[in-house]
Amino acid sequence: MSAALKKVFYNRVRRTCRKHDIDIKMEGAPKNYRSVQLLKDGQLLLGDYAQGREPLNVDWKKFHDELTKYGFVGGIK
């Protein structure tokens, strides 16, 4: 996935999370994240974790599709 496409889906996920009060928790140094979790009222909705020593390559399109499937749509522009 290209960097521009990743940014598009990251922004969609971020806006949807802001609208529905879902917290995005990223662990690790910037550009070298080990895990990304989406939490709603302290409950884990979605998560992605790095395997081995390589940094996590977050699939924001997958997060966006899963949020849509769970009924969390729309977002703040």
Residue 38 lies in a domain: yes
Give yes or no for a contact between 73 and 45, defined as CB atoms under 8 angstroms apart: no
Pairing mode, strands 23-29 and 43-49: unpaired
pLDDT (0 to 100) of residue 76: 65
Residue 33 lies in a domain: yes
Domains in the chain, number:
1
Tens digits of per-residue pLDDT, 2-56?
A: 899 999 999 999 999 999 999 999 999 988 999 999 999 999 999 999 998 888 9
Using CA atoms, how far apart are residues 5 and 77, in angstroms rounded to an integer? 17
Using CA atoms, how far apart are residues 12 and 5, in angstroms rounded to an integer? 11
Residue 45 lies in a domain: yes
Residue 16 lies in a domain: yes
Partnered with residue 20 across adjacent β-strands are: none
Both tokens of 59, joined, read 């699939």
Residue 77 lies in a domain: no
pTM of the model: 0.88
Q: Where are the alpha helices (DSSP H) in the chain?
A: 3-19, 60-69
Residue 31 lies in a domain: yes
What range defines the domain where residue 65 resides?
A: 3-69
